[in-house]
């Protein structure tokens, strides 16, 4: 049979929407309801509904106030007219119900009735028709016919008023179209049919408060929602927000205290409570008042106590700990969640493995994080994520594995060469690995890709300076100064002039270096690095020694325990001929240095030599040479001379 013939037959004249309704209802038993069998239900565009109450007439709802725009319940949808009986043709027998497997008829008739237990009740038929009406509204809305869509949606709620989700959906559409009176009618009809559903009260409160500017009426509805479902925190949130809108800060605070004292055993209540408090009281930087933080922590911990073996609950508690910078607590929750080995089922557990790995890294447990992250990054769904390889590079860098760090930073750069940070990460690691030429190459490529980024030009200048390509470095520093002219998003600060001055000193351009370092000091007089660098540069060359000593003292006033500054002061005393004072400062420098420093040992050797302690001088120079300094040849000559003196009895 062709489709054209089917479309003109009498069975299809009633329209596709009616057929769709009966098909859905027959297959599921009731529209919006879950199937009784274990089979998966056919998805529909409408939200799930609650079971209808008994098929009693829907009572009218009295308006809450004379000005709430409610005009009474909608006229109930007329029941379908009974189908006319179709007499059997003469000589044709109507078969009795068969004992064979039963199937629901998409369009039963008097001639061929469905089995009794497969026939729709009036309530189920109305629900089915509501599904069809809602689908009709969706299609009209997609086609740009809002009036037809609204009419269809209204019809759906009239057919199935007890479906709170449907009522809220339709009311929201009406409110968006500036029809609050109709929205109120839909919601109140639904409340009359299903008075224990909190969602309709909550949205009705929003309509009153936001669309009609009647927060007092909204408060009445929100409080009814709390009474209907005290375990549903959305109702509490609605009351809290209305207290705030009414300027009742004290009552809002009392409501929070009441919630904290709740005896609820439902973890969903506490998670909802915690999420709401986090939204209201937690700032973007993860800070809040100590009291509010204490309340939030207590709420999340309550949820964990009630459901200690639920990965989602534990993950949400971990997420809150991350936001409040409590890394150890976050790791504890994530670790417990991961050990449950549950399949991801919601937003909180979707990225649980990655959150656990990052928590390990944040808690200095990189050795445990690296193999897990390597495995995670090999997942085909994750293998193109630049941030994972960047994190691996950081972890290997922290572990002191330079080659592995460089390898992963390179992969990160390949995956996203459009981000300057990825070039910087690789170049910095190459410099730490003493691969200055590679670092220069990395930053040269970056500058070609980002010719208008002064920070990239600065990175190239620093790489060139480290590679001892001093003249090229000085040109790049000058280029940075030129490129920033007229720009408002990048200014030449004290740190820039400090780095330029240090590069000039290494290039042997002492006067230029002094000028730039003094410029750095003038911009930021509170930064000790420039005082120390300029002072040591002059002392080491025997220039402006007394002024240099004052600069070094200024740096030490700001950071009295800095080993490098103590070394500078010891060297100042050495140049001034005050050898005992020099030795005292240099020994203090040894104690304060984060790691052994060849320069300090070299200076101590020179001081001991002047004090006539030849054996001590030899010991310090030997310690300096073990650290493989750049001026090893110079130190070795002094050491050899000292040993010759010692061998000669001197």
DSSP 282: -
d(CA 17, CA 151): 14
pLDDT of residue 494: 95
Q: Is 109 exposed, middle or buried (0-12, 13-18, 19+ CB in 10 A)?
A: middle
Q: Is 86 exposed, middle or buried (0-12, 13-18, 19+ CB in 10 A)?
A: exposed
Q: What is the pLDDT of residues 527-576, one digit of tens each?
A: 999 999 999 999 999 999 999 999 999 999 999 999 999 999 999 999 99
Q: Give the list of residues 6+ apart from residue 175 with CB closer than 8 angstroms, or none.
A: 183, 207, 211
What value does the mean pLDDT take over residues 371-386? 92
Closest Cα partner for 157 from 244, 249, 47?
A: 47
d(CA 552, CA 536): 7
- Under a CB-based contact definition with an 8 Å cutoff, are residues 57 and 193 in contact? no
d(CA 135, CA 42): 14
What value does the mean pLDDT take over residues 142-165? 89
Confidence of residue 490 (pLDDT cuts 50, 70, 90): low
Q: What is the pLDDT of residues 324-347, one digit of tens each?
A: 999 999 999 999 999 999 999 999
pLDDT at 51 over 50: no
pLDDT at 17 over 80: no
Q: What is the pLDDT of residues 431-476, one digit of tens each?
A: 999 999 999 999 999 999 999 899 999 999 999 999 999 999 999 9
> For all residues of the chain together, what is the average pLDDT?
84
SS3 (DSSP) at 109:
coil
Q: Which of the two residues, 71 and 142, has the higher pLDDT score?
A: 142
Half-sphere exposure of 636 (CA within 13 A, CB side): 9
pLDDT at 430 over 70: yes
Confidence of residue 150 (pLDDT cuts 50, 70, 90): confident
pLDDT of residue 503: 96
- Under a CB-based contact definition with an 8 Å cutoff, are residues 25 and 119 in contact? no
Q: Is 12 exposed, middle or buried (0-12, 13-18, 19+ CB in 10 A)?
A: middle
Closest Cα partner for 571 from 548, 591, 555?
A: 548
pLDDT of residue 626: 95
Confidence of residue 360 (pLDDT cuts 50, 70, 90): very high
What is the helix (H) or strand (E) element at residue 567, kind and residue range? helix 563-575
pLDDT at 119 over 90: no
d(CA 354, CA 377): 10
What is the DSSP code string of 465-518? HHTT-HHHHHHHHHHHHHHTTT-SS----HHHHHHHHHHHHHTT-HHHHHHHHH
Closest Cα partner for 30 from 121, 92, 151?
A: 121
What value does the mean pLDDT take over residues 479-497? 85
What value does the mean pLDDT take over residues 147-165? 89
pLDDT of residue 128: 86
Q: Give the list of residues 6+ apart from residue 181 with CB closer than 8 angstroms, or none.
A: 69, 70, 71
Q: How far is CA 507 from the centre of its chain?
A: 46
d(CA 462, CA 442): 12
SS3 (DSSP) at 180:
helix
d(CA 530, CA 536): 10
pLDDT of residue 267: 93
d(CA 337, CA 628): 49
pTM of the model: 0.66
pLDDT at 111 over 90: no
pLDDT of residue 488: 63
Q: What is the pLDDT of residues 220-266, one digit of tens each?
A: 999 999 999 999 899 999 999 999 989 998 999 999 999 999 999 99
What value does the mean pLDDT take over residues 119-142? 86
d(CA 92, CA 94): 7
pLDDT of residue 227: 92
Give the N- to C-terminal CA distance of the chain in Å, as an integer. Answer: 121
Confidence of residue 115 (pLDDT cuts 50, 70, 90): low
pLDDT at 55 over 50: no
- Under a CB-based contact definition with an 8 Å cutoff, are residues 40 and 156 in contact? no
What value does the mean pLDDT take over residues 401-427? 96
Give, in order, the Cα–Cα distances in Å from 72 to each of 189, 598, 600, 611.
Answer: 8, 91, 91, 106
Confidence of residue 7 (pLDDT cuts 50, 70, 90): very low
What value does the mean pLDDT take over residues 143-159? 89
Q: Give the list of residues 6+ apart from residue 128 with CB closer than 8 angstroms, or none.
A: 21, 22, 24, 25, 26, 30, 31, 120
What value does the mean pLDDT take over residues 270-292? 89
pLDDT of residue 39: 39
Q: What is the pLDDT of residues 577-597, one digit of tens each?
A: 999 999 999 999 999 999 999
- Please state, as a whole number, how many other Cβ atoms lie within 10 Å of the Cβ of residue 376: 19
Q: Which of the two residues, 31 and 481, has the higher pLDDT score?
A: 481
What value does the mean pLDDT take over residues 134-150? 89
CA dihedral sign of residues 16, 17, 21, 27? positive
Q: How far is CA 285 from the centre of its chain?
A: 12
pLDDT at 489 over 80: no
pLDDT of residue 103: 58
Q: Is 192 exposed, middle or buried (0-12, 13-18, 19+ CB in 10 A)?
A: middle
């Amino acid at each position: 049979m062709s489709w054209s013939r089917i479309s003109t037959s009498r069975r299809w004249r009633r329209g596709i929407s009616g057929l769709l309704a009966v098909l859905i209802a027959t297959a599921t038993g009731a529209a919006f309801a879950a199937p009784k069998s274990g089979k998966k239900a056919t998805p529909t565009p409408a939200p799930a509904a609650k079971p209808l109450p008994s098929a009693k007439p829907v009572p009218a709802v009295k308006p809450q106030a004379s000005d709430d725009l409610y005009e009474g319940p909608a006229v109930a949808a007329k029941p379908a007219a009974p189908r006319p009986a179709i007499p059997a043709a003469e000589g044709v027998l109507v078969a009795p119900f068969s004992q064979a497997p039963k199937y629901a008829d998409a369009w039963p008739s008097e001639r061929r009735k469905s089995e009794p237990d497969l026939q729709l009740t009036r309530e189920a038929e109305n629900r089915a028709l509501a599904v069809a009406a809602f689908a009709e509204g969706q299609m009209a809305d997609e086609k740009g016919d809002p009036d037809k869509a609204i009419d269809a949606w209204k019809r759906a709620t009239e057919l199935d008023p007890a479906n709170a989700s449907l009522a809220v959906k339709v009311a929201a559409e009406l409110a968006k179209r500036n029809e609050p009176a109709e929205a109120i009618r839909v919601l109140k009809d639904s409340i009359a049919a299903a008075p224990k559903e909190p969602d309709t009260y909550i949205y009705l409160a929003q309509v009153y408060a936001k669309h009609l500017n009647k927060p007092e009426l909204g408060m009445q509805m929100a409080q009814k929602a709390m009474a209907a479902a005290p375990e549903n925190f959305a109702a509490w949130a609605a009351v809290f927000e209305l207290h705030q809108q009414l300027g009742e800060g004290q009552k809002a605070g009392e409501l929070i205290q009441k919630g904290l004292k709740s005896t609820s055993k439902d973890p969903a209540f506490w998670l909802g409570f915690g999420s709401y408090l986090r939204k209201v009281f937690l700032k973007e930087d993860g800070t809040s008042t100590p009291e509010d933080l204490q309340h939030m922590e207590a709420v999340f911990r309550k949820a964990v106590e009630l459901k200690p073996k639920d990965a989602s609950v534990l993950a949400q508690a971990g997420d809150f700990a991350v936001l409040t910078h409590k890394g150890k607590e976050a790791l504890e929750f994530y670790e417990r969640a991961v050990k449950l080995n549950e399949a991801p089922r919601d937003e909180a557990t979707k990225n649980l493995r990655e959150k656990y790995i990052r928590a390990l890294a944040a808690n200095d447990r990189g050795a445990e994080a690296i193999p897990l992250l390597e495995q995670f990054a090999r997942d085909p769904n994750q293998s193109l994520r630049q941030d994972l390889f960047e994190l691996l590079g950081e972890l290997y860098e922290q572990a002191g594995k330079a080659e592995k760090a460089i390898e992963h930073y390179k992969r990160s750069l390949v995956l996203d060469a459009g981000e300057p940070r990825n070039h910087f990460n690789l170049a910095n690691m190459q410099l730490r690995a003493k691969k200055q030429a590679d670092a220069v190459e990395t930053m040269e490529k970056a500058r070609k890709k980002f010719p208008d980024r002064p920070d990239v030009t600065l990175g190239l200048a620093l790489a060139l300076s480290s590679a001892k390509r001093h003249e090229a470095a000085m040109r790049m520093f000058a280029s940075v100064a030129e490129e920033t002219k007229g720009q408002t998003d990048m200014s030449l600060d004290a740190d820039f002039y400090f780095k330029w001055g240090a590069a000039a000193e290494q290039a042997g351009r002492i006067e230029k270096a002094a000028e730039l370092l003094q410029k750095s000091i003038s911009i930021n007089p509170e930064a000790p690095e420039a005082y120390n660098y300029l002072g040591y540069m002059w002392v080491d060359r025997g220039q402006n020694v007394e002024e240099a000593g004052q600069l070094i003292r200024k740096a030490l006033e700001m950071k009295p325990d800095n080993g490098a500054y103590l070394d500078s002061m010891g060297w100042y005393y050495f140049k001034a001929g005050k050898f005992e004072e020099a030795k005292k400062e240099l020994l203090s420098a040894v104690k304060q240095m984060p790691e052994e420093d060849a320069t300090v040992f070299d200076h101590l050797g020179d001081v001991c030599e002047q004090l006539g302690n030849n054996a001590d001088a030899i010991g310090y120079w030997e310690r300096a040479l073990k650290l493989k300094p750049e001026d090893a040849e110079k130190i070795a000559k002094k050491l050899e001379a000292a040993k010759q003196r010692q061998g000669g009895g001197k």
